[in-house]
Amino acid sequence: MNVLGLHLLLELKECNPELLDNLDYVRNALIRAAEDVGAHIVGESFHRFTPQGITGILSIAESHISIHTWPEYRYAAADIFTCGSTFQPRDAAAVLIEQFESGCPEITEVRRGLLSLPVGI
Residue tagged active-site, from 83, 85, 102, 116: 83
In angstroms, how far apart are the furthest CA atoms of the chain? 58
Verify whether residue 63 is a known catalytic residue: yes
Q: Is 85 a catalytic residue?
A: no
DSSP classification of residue 84: S
Query: Catalytic: which of 15, 63, 64, 102?
Result: 63
Which of 88, 56, 90, 78 shows the shortest CA–CA distance to 11? 78
* SS3 state of residue 89: helix
68 is catalytic: yes
| Residue 54 · residue 35 · CB < 8 Å | no
Q: Which residues are catalytic?
A: 63, 68, 83
